[in-house]
Structure 1
Amino acid sequence: MSVTYRQPGVVLTDHHFTVPLDHDDPAGESIGLYGREVVASDKAGQDLPWLLYLQGGPGFGAHRFVGRQAWLARALEDHRVLLLDQRGTGHSTPANRQTLPLRGGPAEQADYLTHFRADSIVRDCEAIRPVVTGGAPWTVLGQSFGGFCTVAYLSTHPEGLAAAVVTGGLPSLHAHADDVYRAAYPRIERKVAAHYARYPQDVERARRVADHLLTHDVVLPNGYRCTVEAFQSLGIVLGGSEGSHRLHFLLEHAFVPTAQGPALSDAFLEEAQGLLSYAGHPLYAVLHEAVYAQDDRPTAWSAERVRAEFPQFDAAKALAGDGPLLFTGESVHPWMFGSDPALRPLRETADLLAARTDWRPLYDPARLADNEVPVAAAVYHDDMYVDAQHSLETARAVRGLRTWVTDEFEHDGVRAGGPRVLDRLLALTRDEV
């Protein structure tokens, strides 16, 4: 049953759908999907085209907007918007440490989670589209991992798309996870260098925190074991528009004096916990490398293996010299499944997914080469999370795709840029620019 309610300037309707867990077995088990319809209050009675938003991730529910925030303001000028909680996330049937044991042991859990990648998400979209739009094609906006899903959509069900818009999310069509991380670590290093150039005082502050963590057993309030590797992973924020400033403000109050000597402050530990915990989005960790898997090669904890090729990220070696400590970025490592209470019960499941060798292809290069759907993509010049060169290679492989390459924004440009980013990309799909 749909429920309609209001926020300032918008009318919202909750939608609940039932889809097969495995679309190849439509008579088998089903799962629930949730989508929030948003329409401008003054257009609520109009017959408007639909725009489907696919959130970044994997593992995040659709953003919970209040009113007409960020890009949504532009979308609502001429669309109804469906904010979809992709399978396993948000208000859709959840997949986490609490629910996955209902599937059975780690092997059963891993088999279940193979149905939570971009290919299944696209088939979900096609299953609900006739219900939502009456069968009309819709425009899709894919942010980050949502862009990966959008390229999969173009590969398999282009008939469902009136247009496609991608922000910071054109994936490589062929790269293995190893290729992705070999390209990522140098980008991360550049982001760290830019941070220290902006806030040179943070060089010593970061070294001091790392040294403390190497010599003390620090546990966050939720039971997360905060190692030096965990501290380094806070560099994930450096890929966002405000990330460098956020990291700086975190470091400036890292220590307080105590009767036993300097200690990491409660305020620091509390904020670090919010950044490090995967309790709210465990699929991000469990499936992160699987979003790149599409052949018979296992991902085999790619980010951890490839990191060893970049010894400058070794904290102990950095502290033994006088160089800066390097933070890391968007990567998932086996130690996280020992440190994070939300992930500990899923370690064996994650190991099985990392060893898997029967992944399906996610993209169809031949079909993309014949694409007829209007497509536009924002490619951020030095995006920390998605390699710009990989994105541009894919852009050249998709017939008719128009790119906007810019260094004005970071990975979160569609949010930080307000209506401007979406406005420009929609104009590109309409040949208005």
Structure 2
Amino acid sequence: MALVTESHRVDGHDVHEHRLEVPLDRTGRVPGTVSLFAREYVRDGGADRPHLLYLQGGPGHGADRPEQVGGWLDRALEDHRVVLLDQRGTGASTPLDAQALTAAGDAAAQADVLALHRADAIVDDAEELREHLTGGAPWTVLGQSYGGFVITCYLSRAPRGLREAYVFAGLPGLRASADDVYRATYRQTAVRNAEFFARYPRDRATAAAVARHLDDVEELLPTGERLSGRRFRTLGIALGGQSRFDALHFALEDPFTTVRGQRRLRGAFLARVGAQLSFAQHPMYAALHESIYAQGALTGATAWSAHRVRGEFAEFSLDAPGFAFTGEHVYPWQFAEDPALVPLAGAVDVLAHRDDLPALYDPDVLAENRVPVAAAVYVDDMFVPYELSRATAAAVRGARTFVTNEYQHDGIRRDGRRIYDVLQGLLRR
């Protein structure tokens, strides 16, 4: 279908907003289309520069909406026209929210639609968009976190479309199951808990007191639902980055008050916590999270892996004598407790038990890779296990790595310009 573009100016850049209709299901089994949205930045004097496609982390998150051109984007625009793609189902690319998903039919039909929003479909979307924007020329790709997973699928599925690839904290395990991933991430989450409570020793007692209180006293979030102690523990996702590590401490500064002689949680505390815990702005993150590790017969069904594997780690038990926050883990009970997720519960449960989702990576193709690849791999990454990333780097022919313990998972936000330069140096060496 034809590409539709509207343009405007922002601080020395032409900004083109592209829309392109693509099939929801390229096999034709599930009817419908997706309206892809991508925002392209072209710096003055850079119209002849090659294209770079940015693939956002997630899954289920739209591309960045930069309020100003800075960091890695500012640096990349020195070399490229930069395309920020809202991956299907996110941002302005036909958002897949509860309303849209439930319109698909019963839980099984909804699960079919969810399965059409994984990395393989995103790669096919990118290839259609590339044909329109570059006239068929290959482009450079840059992926953060899950964006790197999509790039690895791209290298497996359509390498002829790629000129070179930058990966920030996003090399997946090629044959790893969800259980393999979550065992590694629980171990690293335990390390980050220890680091957090070493920095803020009083916070462990405070957090434990809040969790006990929530189990005994009904406290309602501004959205109306009761906050449970187990849901409160999922605030630990903040431990995975440098930018939010201290913010968790600030949230625990003064959670309690006294109302008519009864100990209660402050309204401001509940509002802050509720905003961080709600999936209302990105429900597809929770809905798709485990499915990104499903590869059919290779891995089998995920079957609520994070929930099952948690039982192997005593420190994360709700009955443990100490206290530990969980990390980037999604649990079945969240689809009963978070109002934004309740309508998705049936579909996500069906998806969790499917064992026929196709493999996303082709080790044989990657072993013969000809696309220059450079990847930043963080030793202490809480979300993308270091050992799996290193194994994948070794399995992708010609891939070069910047291995460091300087950053947590959010290195692209903390020092994106510098990491971009390091990776470019590896690519061009």
TM over 0.5: yes
Contact 2:102 2:343 in 1 (8 A): no
Is 2:206 the partner of 1:170? no
Per the alignment, residue 305 of structure 2 pairs with: 302
Aligned mates of 2:377, 2:256 — CA distance in 1: 39
Is 2:180 the partner of 1:191? no
- Superposed displacement of residue 216, structure 1: 1.2
- Taking only aligned residues, the RMSD between alpha carbons, in angstroms, comes to 1.4
Contact 2:59 2:288 in 1 (8 A): yes
Question: Residue by residue, what CA displacement relative to the aligned partner does 1:194-232 show, whole Å, maximum 9, x if unpaired?
Answer: 001111121221111111112112221113431111111
Contact 2:54 2:85 in 1 (8 A): yes
> Map of 1:119-130 to 2, 5 A cutoff?
119-130=120-131
Aligned mates of 2:255, 2:124 — CA distance in 1: 46
Residues 37, 26 of structure 1: alpha-carbon distance in 2 compared, 3 angstrom cutoff: farther
Per the alignment, residue 397 of structure 2 pairs with: 399
Per the alignment, residue 357 of structure 1 pairs with: 355
Question: Residue by residue, what CA displacement relative to the aligned partner does 1:309-342 show, whole Å, maximum 9, x if unpaired?
Answer: 1121123332xxxx3x100000100010011001
- Superposed displacement of residue 26, structure 1: 9.8
Per the alignment, residue 51 of structure 1 pairs with: 52
Per the alignment, residue 332 of structure 2 pairs with: 334
Aligned mates of 1:182, 1:225 — CA distance in 2: 30
- Superposed displacement of residue 118, structure 1: 0.4
> Map of 1:68-87 to 2, 5 A cutoff?
68-87=69-88
Letter in 2 for 1:213: L
Question: Residue by residue, what CA displacement relative to the aligned partner does 1:376-421 show, whole Å, maximum 9, x if unpaired?
Answer: 0000111000000000000000000000011111101011103111
Letter in 1 for 2:351: L
Aligned mates of 1:250, 1:310 — CA distance in 2: 26
Contact 1:368 1:397 in 2 (8 A): yes
Contact 1:10 1:67 in 2 (8 A): no
> SS of the counterpart of 2:164?
strand
Per the alignment, residue 232 of structure 2 pairs with: 231
TM-score (norm 1): 0.95
Per the alignment, residue 116 of structure 1 pairs with: 117
Is 2:32 the partner of 1:10? no
Per the alignment, residue 416 of structure 1 pairs with: 414
Per the alignment, residue 23 of structure 1 pairs with: 26
Per the alignment, residue 39 of structure 1 pairs with: 42
> SS of the counterpart of 1:103?
coil
Per the alignment, residue 248 of structure 1 pairs with: 249
Contact 1:224 1:277 in 2 (8 A): no
Equivalent residue pairs, number: 424
Per the alignment, residue 288 of structure 1 pairs with: 289
Aligned mates of 1:311, 1:400 — CA distance in 2: 41
- Superposed displacement of residue 28, structure 1: 5.0
> SS of the counterpart of 1:252?
coil
Per the alignment, residue 370 of structure 2 pairs with: 372
Aligned mates of 1:218, 1:354 — CA distance in 2: 31
> SS of the counterpart of 1:62?
coil
What is the percentage of aligned positions where both structures have the same residue? 51
Per the alignment, residue 342 of structure 2 pairs with: 344
- Superposed displacement of residue 121, structure 1: 0.4
Contact 1:172 1:391 in 2 (8 A): yes
Aligned mates of 1:418, 1:333 — CA distance in 2: 32
- Superposed displacement of residue 35, structure 1: 0.2
Per the alignment, residue 92 of structure 1 pairs with: 93
Contact 1:376 1:402 in 2 (8 A): yes
> SS of the counterpart of 1:48?
coil
Per the alignment, residue 155 of structure 1 pairs with: 156
Residues 9, 212 of structure 1: alpha-carbon distance in 2 compared, 3 angstrom cutoff: farther
Structure 2 unaligned blocks of 5 or more:
none
- Superposed displacement of residue 27, structure 1: 11
Structure 1 unaligned blocks of 5 or more:
none
Letter in 2 for 1:282: P
Aligned mates of 2:396, 2:74 — CA distance in 1: 29
Per the alignment, residue 210 of structure 2 pairs with: 209
Letter in 1 for 2:391: E
Aligned mates of 2:272, 2:141 — CA distance in 1: 34
Letter in 2 for 1:76: L
Aligned mates of 1:67, 1:246 — CA distance in 2: 23
Aligned mates of 1:306, 1:137 — CA distance in 2: 41
Letter in 2 for 1:4: S
